[in-house]
């Protein structure tokens, strides 16, 4: 036999509310859960008798905010440390008339930003020093008479696309396994007796390659043929040395790629499996790449762990601290108002606090 719609609705409401009671702390649920469920059921029955679905919806609209607010309040109450009896009674029942003093507010406002500044400075100084060496290359090409890769050469938009394709191909080539492995080989041969940062027999080739990729950053300047290469390392000399090795290896590679005979020779010398990546056979190499800026000595630290970077770091920390402090203060004030039953002035006139709802 199927239940009537009203009974089914009431039963479903009661079932859902019973599940929602799990939001309360276990002790509160054990002591009052049954009564709360019973009270909710009585409310639902009365509302249904008077206004059917509309009444039931109104009960839920009142019950849900009440449920979430009081569940949070009970959890906060359950984790609070025990107090002396008079203090506890006063807190539980009394409207606290004494708001935080001005001194307390000033102390809080000063303390939180200071913590923010201290954290920023501490994190900055804990970071290891890193240096970046930068180099620039220019992709130069001559506009041929014949179409390139199906693109007409008299169309500016097509020329722009071809230029972009060429730059992208060079960037891929610069980051290819072929070039990077040659850089590793060069590093190993140059630093047989000294301990190299990159692949000195410790890490495997794959790990060394991954590390090298992490150190390398290649990008292109917009709407130009300029390629920017940055290499990061723990010392200024290492970063410059590595950047030089990369640039020289890459340029040698491009020369080999441009000369078919040389290319055939080097591919025979290369280890099996090494492939020249980044080469698009549809796009002929009708251009050359030249170095326009030698790798610089990496003197620029990229973390603010030097004294001159402290003021901007401090200002940043201050702003973060102020934002965090403001957020915490607003949150703490709201929780304190709710917990101390302090009624905001407008609520004294129209709506009493603490869950009493106006219908």
Neighbours of 239 (CB within 10 A): 27
The window from 32-40, 200-208, 279-287, 296-304 that contacts another protein (CB under 8 A) reads 32-40
135 has which bridge partners? 229
Asked if 14 and 37 count as a contact pair (C-beta separation under 8 A), the reply is yes
Torsion sign over Cα 226, 227, 231, 237: negative
> 226 — phi, psi (to 5°)?
-90, 130
Query: Is residue 357 a contact point for another protein (CB under 8 A)?
Result: yes
Q: Which of 95, 104, 122, 332 binds another protein (CB under 8 A)?
A: 95
Q: Which of 62, 75, 136, 188 binds another protein (CB under 8 A)?
A: 62
226 has which bridge partners? 138
Q: Which of 42, 277, 280, 299 binds another protein (CB under 8 A)?
A: 42
Report, in Å, the least distance between residue 331 CB and another protein: 21
Query: Is residue 67 a contact point for another protein (CB under 8 A)?
Result: yes
For 358, counting Cβ atoms within 10 Å of its Cβ (0-12 exposed, 13-18 middle, 19+ buried), the class is exposed
Instruction: Give the DSSP letter of residue 327.
Output: H
**Of 134, 160, 129, 300, which is closest to residue 219 (Cα–Cα)?**
134
Helix 236-258 crosses helix 177-190 at what angle (to 10 degrees)?
130
Neighbours of 157 (CB within 10 A): 9
Nearer to another protein (CB atom), residue 45 or residue 188: 45
Q: Which of 43, 135, 178, 187 binds another protein (CB under 8 A)?
A: 43
The window from 37-45, 183-191, 278-286, 329-337 that contacts another protein (CB under 8 A) reads 37-45
Instruction: Give the DSSP letter of residue 123.
Output: H
Query: Is residue 10 a contact point for another protein (CB under 8 A)?
Result: no
Report, in Å, the least distance between residue 310 CB and another protein: 50
Q: Which of 82, 86, 156, 346 binds another protein (CB under 8 A)?
A: 86
Q: Which of 85, 195, 282, 308 binds another protein (CB under 8 A)?
A: 85
DSSP state string for 39-73: HHHHHHHHHHHHHHHHHHHHHHHHHHHHHHHHHHH
The window from 48-56, 86-94, 153-161, 175-183 that contacts another protein (CB under 8 A) reads 86-94
217 has which bridge partners? 230
Nearer to another protein (CB atom), residue 77 or residue 124: 77
Residue list 294-353, contact with another protein (CB under 8 A): 341, 343, 352-353
Nearer to another protein (CB atom), residue 66 or residue 200: 66
The window from 92-100, 215-223, 251-259, 279-287 that contacts another protein (CB under 8 A) reads 92-100
Positions touching another protein (CB under 8 A) are: 24, 28, 31-32, 34-40, 42-43, 62-63, 65-67, 69-71, 73-74, 85-86, 88-90, 92-95, 341, 343, 352-359
């Amino acid at each position: 036999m199927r239940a009537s719609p009203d009974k089914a609705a009431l039963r479903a409401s009661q079932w859902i509310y019973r599940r929602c009671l799990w939001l309360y702390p276990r002790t509160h649920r054990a002591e009052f859960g049954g009564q709360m469920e019973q009270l909710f059921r009585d409310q639902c029955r009365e509302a249904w008798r008077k206004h059917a679905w509309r009444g039931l919806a109104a009960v839920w609209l009142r019950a849900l905010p009440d449920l979430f607010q009081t569940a949070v309040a009970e959890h906060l109450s359950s984790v609070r440390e025990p107090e002396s009896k008079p203090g506890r009674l006063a807190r539980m029942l009394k409207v606290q008339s004494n708001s935080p003093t001005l001194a307390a507010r000033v102390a809080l406002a000063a303390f939180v930003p200071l913590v923010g500044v201290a954290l920023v400075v501490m994190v900055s100084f804990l970071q290891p020093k890193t240096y970046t060496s930068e180099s620039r290359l220019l992709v130069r090409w001559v506009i041929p008479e014949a179409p390139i890769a199906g693109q007409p050469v008299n169309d500016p938009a097509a020329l722009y696309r071809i230029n972009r394709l060429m730059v992208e191909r060079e960037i891929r080539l610069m980051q290819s396994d072929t070039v990077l492995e040659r850089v590793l080989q060069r590093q190993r041969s140059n630093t047989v007796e000294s301990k190299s940062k990159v692949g000195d027999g410790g890490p495997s080739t794959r790990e060394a390659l991954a590390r090298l990729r992490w150190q390398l950053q290649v990008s292109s300047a917009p709407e130009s043929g300029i390629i920017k290469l940055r290499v990061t390392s723990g010392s200024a000399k290492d970063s410059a040395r590595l950047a030089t090795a990369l640039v020289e290896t890459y340029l040698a590679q491009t020369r080999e790629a441009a000369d078919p005979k040389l290319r055939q020779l080097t591919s025979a010398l290369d280890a099996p499996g090494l492939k020249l990546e980044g080469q698009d056979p549809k796009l002929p190499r009708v251009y050359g790449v030249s170095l326009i800026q030698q790798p610089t000595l990496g003197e620029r630290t990229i973390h603010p762990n030097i004294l001159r970077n402290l003021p901007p770091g401090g200002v940043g920390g201050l702003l973060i601290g102020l934002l965090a402090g403001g957020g915490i203060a607003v949150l703490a004030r709201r929780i304190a108002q709710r917990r101390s039953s302090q009624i905001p002035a407008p609520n004294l006139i129209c709506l009493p606090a603490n869950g009493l709802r106006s219908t």
